Amino acid sequence: MSIPKTIIEPFRIKSVEPIRMTTRQEREQCIRAAHYNLFTLHSDDVLIDLLTDSGTASMSARQWGAIMVGDESYAGSPSFYRFKSAVENLMPFKYLIPTHQGRAAESILFTMVARPHHVIPNNTHFDTTRANIEAQGSEAVDLVIAEGRDPDSGHPFKGNMDIDRLDAFISERGAENVPLCMLTITNNSGGGQPVSMENIRQTRAVCDRHGIPLFIDACRFAENAWFIKQREPGYRDKPVIEIVREMFSHADGCTMSAKKDGLANIGGWLAMNNEGWAVQCRNRLILTEGFSTYGGLSGRDLEAIAAGLEEVVQEDYLRYRIASTEYVARHISETGVPIMKPAGGHAVYIDARRLLPHIPPLQYPGQSLAVELYKEGGIRGCEIGTAMFGLHPDGTESPAHMDLVRLAIPRRMYTQAHMDYVVEVVASVYENRENLRGMKFIRQPKALRHFTGRFDYV
């Protein structure tokens, strides 16, 4: 007998949430009322919500059970110690500081280390990381390899840092102006692409040469480890958990959003080996988040994360997770729609600039496409392009490197039929692409404008 090839969801569903069906006409009204900003929509007006994979995971029965044993003591809760040992099992840093989500960890870290003359390199900074660095008056610089910016490149590790450029960059700016170097795994803004172990090692070597600490933005660490296992020579037979430990053994610290590979709905942390920094970060934590054994989380959140961290490194889960993203990417690609290749870990990225060549980047082709996907099928994706990155701190605007629409896939939430529906809607928008129009901001804040800005058609 042969082994069946179909990769099934390695779970069954015990609890469900209804989806409210809507018509195109209703959706046109909703999106107009939301000023064409998908973040402004009411989520019960959305059929398939692919806005983010953050905080949207379906929790397991085990996690819900763990929530019931959460201990809400202000200080020294056993839930904190369970959380701590689950984190340390994967990322053995000396000091662990819980936070309510990833950006709180970034804020604490950069408030402590970043000064106006500083620059912080990364493969690609996520938007909150960049904003937290810029909020200190420092500069955030992206040094991903050239293949990472080429939607067609089949490079297996398109999230890799450009090692030569990093080295040259630090020499040029002076190591004293680089308080730390970051590596985002997987590389969210650049397409959910993984970073190889070899590249983590080489980044570390450059940092060592210049005496600079390396911090990992660890949000999707388990997905990254799975790609290493599949694609990097020498790792096929290594258990994921060991790959994870090896990844973090090259770093001096990390920031983490447990809303991604923590399989939790809220939470995060900051971890590091430097005691002096940890003391300062804890003091800041107490000022902004809470005491050092809960950091803005309840005991039950800490329990949910502890259980989630055990589940996220299970290989059946990761095999299904990455296969399901690849399934959506393959089927969308087969309709002729240009996407970032190869498929990333948590999302499919449609190349809106290429799909809509008649819309110039400064008229936000990604936003126009995202709005149309909502109107056509109630699908909520997210523009990752000029609307998100085009506005600079000095008030000038220029096209982002790419104009993408991200369809992020929540963990363990949607079935294959939901994804078949998504593919059908994308195909239908593709057929109608020539009718899509450019957009403009009619109101925008100075930073992170994509969250709250208002759009209209030009």
CB of 99 to ligand F0G, least distance (A): 9
Closer residue to ligand F0G, CB minimum distance, 269 or 327: 269
The 3-state DSSP class for residue 443 equals strand
Q: How many residues bind ligand F0G (CB under 6 A)?
A: 16
Closer residue to ligand F0G, CB minimum distance, 102 or 453: 102
Closer residue to ligand F0G, CB minimum distance, 51 or 359: 51
* Residue in 37, 63, 132, 188 binding ligand F0G, rule: CB under 6 A: 188
Asked whether the bond before 124 is cis by omega within 30 degrees of 0, the reply is no
Q: Which two tokens stand for residue 291?
A: 């005491």
Closer residue to ligand F0G, CB minimum distance, 77 or 265: 265
Which residue type is seen at 313? V
297 with 219: CB under 8 angstroms? Answer: no
252 with 214: CB under 8 angstroms? Answer: yes
Q: Which of residues 379-408 bind ligand F0G (CB under 6 A)?
A: 408
Q: Which of residues 35-94 bind ligand F0G (CB under 6 A)?
A: 52, 54
Closer residue to ligand F0G, CB minimum distance, 57 or 359: 57
User: Does residue number 124 form part of the binding site for ligand F0G (CB under 6 A)?
Assistant: no
Closer residue to ligand F0G, CB minimum distance, 225 or 359: 225
Closer residue to ligand F0G, CB minimum distance, 103 or 300: 103
Closer residue to ligand F0G, CB minimum distance, 101 or 293: 101
Burial (CB < 10 A; 0-12, 13-18, 19+), residue 1, is: exposed
Name the one residue in this structure whose structure tokens are 């085009």. Answer: 390
* Residue in 57, 96, 178, 219 binding ligand F0G, rule: CB under 6 A: 219
Q: Which of residues 251-280 bind ligand F0G (CB under 6 A)?
A: 257, 259, 268
**Cα dihedral across residues 230, 235, 239, 240: positive or negative:** negative
Closer residue to ligand F0G, CB minimum distance, 102 or 390: 102
CB of 268 to ligand F0G, least distance (A): 5
Q: Which two tokens stand for residue 23?
A: 């018509």
* Residue in 45, 66, 77, 103 binding ligand F0G, rule: CB under 6 A: 103
Of 36, 60, 179, 57, which is closest to residue 109 (Cα–Cα)?
179
The residue nearest ligand F0G at its CB is 102
User: Does residue number 301 form part of the binding site for ligand F0G (CB under 6 A)?
Assistant: no
CB of 345 to ligand F0G, least distance (A): 11
User: Does residue number 184 form part of the binding site for ligand F0G (CB under 6 A)?
Assistant: yes
CB of 23 to ligand F0G, least distance (A): 28
The 3-state DSSP class for residue 347 equals strand
* Residue in 58, 79, 129, 203 binding ligand F0G, rule: CB under 6 A: 129
Question: Could you give the C-alpha distances from 134 to 84, 121, 277, in angstroms and in order?
Answer: 31, 12, 20
d(CA 97, CA 255): 10
Buried b (16+ CB within 10 A) or exposed e, 155-182: bbbbbbbbbebbbebbeebeeeebbbbb
Of 132, 119, 47, 32, which is closest to residue 414 (Cα–Cα)?
47
User: Does residue number 101 form part of the binding site for ligand F0G (CB under 6 A)?
Assistant: yes
CB of 257 to ligand F0G, least distance (A): 3
Question: Could you give the C-alpha distances from 209 to 167, 206, 245, in angstroms and in order?
Answer: 9, 5, 23
User: Does residue number 122 form part of the binding site for ligand F0G (CB under 6 A)?
Assistant: no
305 with 267: CB under 8 angstroms? Answer: yes
User: Does residue number 128 form part of the binding site for ligand F0G (CB under 6 A)?
Assistant: yes
Question: Could you give the C-alpha distances from 38 to 32, 45, 101, 223, 368, in angstroms and in order?
Answer: 10, 11, 22, 27, 11
Closer residue to ligand F0G, CB minimum distance, 184 or 324: 184
* Residue in 217, 223, 261, 289 binding ligand F0G, rule: CB under 6 A: 217
Closer residue to ligand F0G, CB minimum distance, 102 or 299: 102
- Stretch (H or E) spanning 181: strand 181-184
User: Does residue number 353 form part of the binding site for ligand F0G (CB under 6 A)?
Assistant: no
d(CA 377, CA 5): 31
Span interacting with ligand F0G, options 80-88, 124-132, 393-401, 412-420, rule CB under 6 A = 124-132
Residues lying near ligand F0G in the complex (CB under 6 A) are found at 52, 54, 101-103, 126, 128-129, 184, 188, 217, 219, 257, 259, 268, 408
